[in-house]
Amino acid sequence: MNFFESEILKGKYFAPKSRDRLRATMVNLFILAGAFVMLLYAYENMVYGYYVMLSVELFIILVLLVAYLVFPHYLNINHTSYMILGALTFLLSMSLIVPDQDPELSLFWLAALPIFVFFFLGVEKGIRWSTDMFIVLLFIPLVSYVTGIQFVYEWELLSQIVLGYLVVSYMLYIIESERSSYEERLNVALEENKILFKEVHHRTKNNMQVVMGLLESQSFKIDDPKYKKMFETHVDRLKAMSLMHKNLYSNHSYEEVDIQEYLEEIAQSLQTYTEYHIHTDIDPIIIDMKIAMNIGLIFNEAVTNAIEHAFEGEEGEIDISFKQIGERYSLCIQDNGKGFDTSLTYKSLGLTLIKDLSVTLPHSTIEIEGKNGTKIQIYFDTEEHL
């Protein structure tokens, strides 16, 4: 089913779960179903010798196939819809006046076309097209009377067809109007929620900065280097979380974060506290807020650990990369310091926190190496699989 919707109906060219994707798949389904129905009618007309309608139907089938082949590279959804609508309206008109053909064809398209026009072109164009079609339905019998061309239907049946068409169009108008109104109210509510979320993230970031300022002011009063460093470490953790909220209220999305921008901000913040060089190679990938928060904390802990414990001299390099490899992400933090013996039980709070945070990432694995410097490599899935 996914292959049919994505490939055959061309949903892959549009964002998942978007209205454009739904419209694209529906318009292609309409094209394929319509072409199939007309092939059946064309075969029947060929058998019974109704060659005028046969030529019309073959022309319409060709138009539908061309529309299917060029969509969406050369025609967008609206242009394709107009192309289909024009072709089928012509077919419907011909089916009402061409003698010696199966009149059931016009009944099929009279029921299908109102659904098509209201769904794909909206209420305003649906009303306009329905009005034009109503005039055509009244005009065709007049032309038949003046020219003497025999009309396919009796007047009584025609009046029933027109009445049925008007009823179907009116019902679709009501349904589409309600849907449009609901969608508009939903969009307004969504925009209001976005503003509220941005305000929440902005206030959270400001409050965290106040807490960071209090901790920093208290750290100046501490003489013991051990406890002073502890305060500074907590400030760095708060700063990593604060940057997350800053990204969320600064960008358009309040649920996703550009991981490149976020991690590079943390790296720049940490670089101001050390003479060791921090190098980043991070792809611009959009990631869920909760996952990005944990990645930022892991990043902060790993780099802080390297700054504090990896080097004995004044020179040192810390390399960080974040890449997408197929269906998984890869986060690597590596330094060229002294390393450590990974076979020993290592009770560093930083490494313990890194391991605990890595477990929260979707189907994650973590590798820690201590030869020729320390290397922390974490792999996890691009999305949560049930």
- pLDDT band per the 50, 70, 90 thresholds, residue 149: low
Q: For residues 272 and 217, what is the distance between their CA atoms, to the nearest angstrom?
A: 18
Backbone angles phi, psi at 315, to 5 degrees: -115, 145
Crossing angle between the packed helical segments 19-48 and 51-70, to the nearest 10 degrees: 160
Chain segment 64-85, per-residue pLDDT in tens: 999 999 998 888 888 898 888 8
CA distance 269 to 248: 18
In the chain, pLDDT over 90 holds for what percent of residues? 11
Q: Is 302 helix (H, G, I), strand (E, B) or coil?
A: helix
What are the helix (H) ranges across the chain? 2-3, 19-48, 51-70, 77-97, 104-147, 155-219, 225-250, 259-271, 289-305, 349-359
Q: Are 96 and 149 in contact (CB under 8 A)?
A: no
Provide the pLDDT for residue 247. 63
What token pair was written down for 106?
């016009």
Judge whether 200 and 248 are in contact, CB under 8 Å. no
Distances in Å between the Cα of 296 and the Cα atoms of 257, 288, 334 are: 11, 12, 16
- What pLDDT score does 69 carry? 92
Each residue of 89-129: pLDDT tens digit? Answer: 888 777 777 765 566 666 666 667 777 787 787 778 888 88
Size of the chain in residues: 386
pLDDT 10s digits, 23-52: 889 889 989 988 998 898 888 888 888 888
At residue 70, the pLDDT reads 92
Residue with tokens 């009618």, as numbered in its chain: 41
What is the DSSP code (8-state) at residue 153?
S
Instruction: Give the integer Cα–Cα distance in Å for 212 and 208.
Output: 6
Provide the 10 A C-beta neighbour count for residue 199: 11
**Is 30 in contact with 60 (CB distance < 8 Å)?**
no
Query: Distance (Å, rounded) from C-alpha 373 to C-alpha 318?
Result: 10
Measure the CA–CA gap between 300 and 305, rounded to whole angstroms: 8
Please tell me which residue, 20 or 382, carries the higher pLDDT value: 20
Q: How would DSSP label each residue in 180-239?
A: HHHHHHHHHHHHHHHHHHHHHHHHHHHHHHHHHHHHHHHHTT---HHHHHHHHHHHHHHH
| pLDDT single digits (tens) 165-216 | 777 778 878 887 887 788 888 888 777 776 666 666 666 666 666 676 766 6
Q: Are 255 and 200 in contact (CB under 8 A)?
A: no
Kindly state the DSSP code that residue 342 receives in the 8-state scheme: T
At 16, is the pLDDT very low, low, confident or very high (cuts 50, 70, 90)?
A: confident
Summarised one tens digit per residue, pLDDT across range 247-272 is: 655 665 667 888 888 888 888 888 88
At 280 the pLDDT is: 92
Whether the CB-CB separation of 256 and 291 falls below 8 Å is answered with: no
